[in-house]
Amino acid sequence: MAVGKWGRSVRKHKWREWSRLALAVGASTFLAVLNASAGSWSPGIAALLIGPLLACIRLDMRRTAAVAAWSLLLALAAGAAQRRVSTPGFVVEFLVLLAGSTLAVRNAAQYTATETALARAMEVAHASQNAILHPVSAQLGSVSVCTRHHSPVPGASAGGDLYDIVHTPYGTRLLIGDVRGHSLDALVTTAATIRAFRDLAYLTPGLADLAGALDARISPSLGPEDFVTAVLAEFTPGEVRLVNCGHPAPIRLGNQIKLLEPPEFALPLGLHPTPRLHRVFLQPGDQLLFYTDGLTEARDAKGTAFPLLERVGDTLTAPSPSDALDALYGMVTAHTGGPLTDDLALILCQPADAPAPSVVRYA
């Protein structure tokens, strides 16, 4: 299916290029025919510059140069048909056409170089983001962890979702967050936040103190309107400790499905939050789902949000955490009717020694 979509996209792109080329060539040809006619009025061969100008707007240098060469040949043919090639008026108009065509080719070259550089930058950005958010499917300490990251549809800019999991002397610690914005600057902030978490998670005993240390580390590099929503989690035997800084609350999956909202709202990182530690006791078989707002903001054609709490329990019938996350993403894209337009990060955690839950009900 993915190959089919890619093929249709390529064919559509090629069709647009050929239609633009045909329009530019057709405009020059039509004007040349008017000039070569024996009527009492003709637009002048300088008007053939319309073809190269149309080409340089959206076509590359090679195609624009072809249109420009075709226009110059048509101008000479039209002048020869009227026996005006040696007249001063024709020479002046031809020089105007030549100069304009040269500028059109130069403009197309600059446009092509800019487009190539931008495409390369976005390619590097997405490759860097995928390297930062590499998939995890492993046991860290006493916790089994599985992650997924889905980038936006082709053509969208780099996102700001982030996550990381480390095993520390204080337990297995997890960070999931979302940087404000979707640009290369957001990607830089994503990398800086993950780097700060890896540095500080091993050195800071308290989870709330870790949030404060992260805020102090990344705030100097943020703009006045930049911030990072985040959830920090720390797994210890029988419980998980949470600190939420303006991020969607995780979900506990087990005999009951519950949204683990913080006791009070805290500002995102970068805005100097004062979050409170939230302790949640876990039963055997409980799982925790962490996610970014690409899940909660997924909407169908009518604008209806994805019913997360009602549907998330269905994923527990999957044979493995990896299959569960794939099933959840399949449900979301079925709801939206296609790929998501925003980044989405998912993390599913379960104590490694706990049996899989057999009964799930919404509460």
Domains of the chain: 2-126 (no CATH), 133-351 (3.60.40.10)
Please determine, for residue 8, whether its predicted confidence score (pLDDT) is greater than 80. Answer: no
115 against 87, higher pLDDT: 87
- Supply the pTM of this predicted model: 0.65
Which residues sit opposite 291 in a β-bridge? Answer: 346
Give the pLDDT score at 354.
47
77 is written with which tokens?
């043919």
Give the pLDDT score at 22.
80
Question: By the 8 A CB rule, do 345 and 133 touch?
Answer: yes
What is the pLDDT averaged over residues 60-80? 82
- What is the C-alpha end-to-end distance of the chain, expressed in Å? 37
How many CB atoms are located within 10 Å of the residue 6 CB? Answer: 11
What is the pLDDT averaged over residues 197-222? 95
Q: What is the pLDDT of residues 106-147, one digit of tens each?
A: 888 877 766 665 555 455 555 555 556 667 777 888 899 999
Q: What is the pLDDT of residues 16-45, one digit of tens each?
A: 767 777 877 777 777 777 666 655 445 676
Please determine, for residue 262, whether its predicted confidence score (pLDDT) is greater than 50. Answer: yes
The least confident of 45-49, 202-206, 258-262 is 45-49
Picking from 204, 131, 197, 194, the residue whose alpha carbon sits closest to that of residue 162 is 194
pLDDT grade, residue 97 (50/70/90)?
Answer: confident
The least confident of 80-84, 160-164, 250-254, 304-308 is 80-84
pLDDT grade, residue 15 (50/70/90)?
Answer: low
Give the pLDDT score at 69.
86
Q: What is the pLDDT of residues 316-346, one digit of tens each?
A: 778 888 899 999 999 999 999 888 878 899 9
157 against 237, higher pLDDT: 237
Please determine, for residue 2, whether its predicted confidence score (pLDDT) is greater than 60. Answer: no
Give the pLDDT score at 242.
97
Give the pLDDT score at 9.
39
43 against 287, higher pLDDT: 287
Q: What is the mean pLDDT of the chain?
A: 80
